[in-house]
Every structure is written in C-alpha cells, then in structure tokens.
Structure 1
C-alpha cells in the first residue's frame, strides 16, 4: 500500500515509517497539517491507499491534524483515514465521521505498542472498514448523558465497544467467551435503547458509535 503519515513527532514518524516499510508498504511523511493539505489538495494529487494522521500538530498543537483530515475527506470522500492520537478530540471527530464512516478509524497511540492490533486496524480502514478504539468509546461514554447511552449495562457497553472496533457478533462472542445468542440479544438491546429501530441496514452498528460522537458536551474537553 501507499501510506501517508502526518505526524510532528520525529521519533514516532520514524518508528511508524520503519514498521510499515518493513511490512512492504510505500511510506511518505509530513511534519505539519498544512503540508499534508497542500499535497493532497492539488488537482493532480495522487491519493494514498490510507492516510495516518495525528490530531495535535503545528503550529498551535491543538486539532490541526484532525481538521485537515476532515477537510481532505470533504474533498476526497473515499480517502481512508486512520486518526492516531493521544487524545479524544470529540468535536472534529464528530465532523469527520459525519461525512461518512467508510474507511475511517480513530486509534489511541498506546495501541501502537501492540503492532498486530495496529496493523489490523490499518488494514481494516484501508479496506473500507470503520475502527474506533475501545478507550475512545469509554471516554465518550463517560461524558455522554440523556441519549440512551446511560441506560446501557456494563456488559452492553463492552459489546458496544467491540462493535465499534468493527467486530462481528461471532468475533464478539469469542472475545467475551459467551454464546452467539447472548451477543445477539445484547446487540438488539443496545440498538433498542439507543432508539435505532430495526431495518435492513447493518450500519445501525456504526450509527451507535456516531451517537457517542455527536451527543456530547464540549466543555472540559482538552
């Protein structure tokens, strides 16, 4: 794959580049969000198979990376993006996911310590999947009120976190060491509590994640 990385940390950029190059990928890096946007906004720009971006980048080190990703997705809706961050920046994450969930991921940097899980997330995003780190889910859940999420049981939250990783019911059952019927019952309960009525659209699972991203207070978030 051809992979672009937007990351201002020299050590992390170098480490990711070495890891992905070893895996056989063609990798290029950018140190600022402006450089990234300039490179991919040109009419003749060649899009990568996947973009990996940090959230906080120069010059203000707030949310430039995530805003750049949202902008680039508005220009190129099919551009796969994996956000790799130490932080949960909910405002622009919501905007990013609201433009479409195909080929999107939000993974905390601690996950890079587990190479297999990181590469799995990267592969799923590049293939058009949606990946949301369970820790991101947990942080959003603790800040969410009166949207149906507060009614979920601890087990339902576990199931929902695994759903957010893009796992099937069978994979969730295997991870939690429970039967498939139990997982199906939890999923039905979750979607019901979130007010997502039954229909033929499997993306109700993704809509559950979007609920966390869309209905949250912004005060106190850094």
Structure 2
C-alpha cells in the first residue's frame, strides 16, 4: 500500500510515518500543507492519501479542500481524513463525489494502529469508513439544509401526492379543495425548492426527487 501523508504537525507526521512503515506500508511522501498534498498525489499516484483537516496557512479546512482537489485531478485516489475536527462542508463533497474510497476518523478516537490500518485497507478497497460522530454531524447538516423542511404541512401533503404521481386535479379531489388552490400550493412548493420554470426540466419530477431525498 502506497501512502501520501499530509499532516502539519512535524512530530505527529514523523510518528505516523514510522508507525506506518513499521507496519509494512510504503509512505511515498509526507507533507505539511495542502498544495504539497495535491502535487504529491498527482506526481506519485498513491493508493491512499491520509489527510489532516486544518493545515497552513489559515488552519481551517485546507486539508479537506486539497483532498477534494486531488481527487478531481486523480480520480480514484482513496482518501482517509484523520483529524481532531469535523468539517462537514468539504467532507460532504468528498463523500459525494463517487471517485473512490473515503474515510473520516477522529484522531482521539483511533484506538490503535490496527484500527488505522483496517481503515486504510477499507478505503483502498473502495469502501467508506466513518467515525459515528462524523456521521451524526453530516446528517444534522443535511437535515438543516433540506429545503423540504421549509414547506408548510399542507405543502408537504401536496408534495407527497405529487410524488405519488397525482395530477393537480386529482390532488384537489383528494384534499377537497379547488384546482386553483392546488396550483398555488404547487407554485409555492417549486419556489421554496428553488425550481424555476425551465423548458428542459420537469419541475414535478425534480420536486419528487427532492421529496424522496428528504
């Protein structure tokens, strides 16, 4: 297994290099910032990149952004995020890109080297390895961002019937309201879901997909 390691703490970086090499893993590069990570992945094409989230210069989310960039340039590279922090924005993007195995573990919850090696093997094989705390925060963010949550109870009821394939006339009969009232509800639903009129897109289908995702 060929690994690129991105960790800004020199002591932790060198310690991880030693542990991984003693376990039979080849660390082909050990870097301390995001741009160096991207260059190492592009130049060396490792099996997996192990990445910290907060790196120079701002120590916010450079590591994750670099991992996303590296995967765009070298699709299929496995990524294991190993950090003290959960950064949901770019973690969500990394998980959703479908370009290879991905993991996100919290440093203080990795019990031993075997757990880390198992995680590396899992993501190299194309799997997903996530700490439960990461999963919880990702789901919390998705619930908060879900536009369906902005709908009123009546609008959600109308959307559910749209998702079942009912026409406005059929929905009006079900809810014992006028077709005009259903049309108003439908237009408000589309507006809240960000679905503007478009000849190339069916707003009812897109609204149904939003409902199913929610």
Aligned to 1:18: 18
Q: If you compute each CA radius of gyration, which structure gives the higher value, 1 or 2?
A: 2
Distance 1:103 1:144, change over 3 A: closer
Higher helix content, 1 or 2: 2
Residue 38 (structure 2) pairs with residue 37 (structure 1): yes
Distance 1:20 1:105, change over 3 A: same
Residue 93 (structure 2) pairs with residue 92 (structure 1): no
* CA displacement at 1:12 relative to structure 2: 1.4
What is the TM-score of this pair, normalised by structure 1? Answer: 0.60
Aligned to 2:64: 66
Q: CA separation in 2, counterparts of 1:116 and 1:39? A: 25
Task: Name which of structure 1's ranges 102-111 and 46-55 shifts more when overlaid on structure 2.
Answer: 102-111
C-alpha contact (below 8 Å) 1:111/1:117 kept by paired residues = no
- After TM superposition, the runs of 4+ consecutive aligned structure 1 residues lying more than 6 A away are none
Distance 1:113 1:11, change over 3 A: farther
C-alpha contact (below 8 Å) 1:77/1:99 kept by paired residues = no
Aligned to 1:83: 81
Unaligned runs of 5+ in 1: 148-213, 216-222
SS of aligned partner of 2:82? strand
- Superposition RMSD in Å: 2.2
What is the TM-score of this pair, normalised by structure 2? Answer: 0.63
* Counterparts of residues 98-177 of structure 1 (less than 5 Å): 98-100=96-98, 102-142=100-140, 145=143
C-alpha contact (below 8 Å) 1:111/1:118 kept by paired residues = no
C-alpha contact (below 8 Å) 1:57/1:65 kept by paired residues = yes
What is the count of residue pairs matched by the alignment? 147
* CA displacement at 1:11 relative to structure 2: 1.8
Q: CA separation in 1, counterparts of 2:35 and 2:100? A: 24
Q: CA separation in 2, counterparts of 1:143 and 1:74? A: 24
Aligned to 2:168: none
* CA displacement at 1:10 relative to structure 2: 1.3
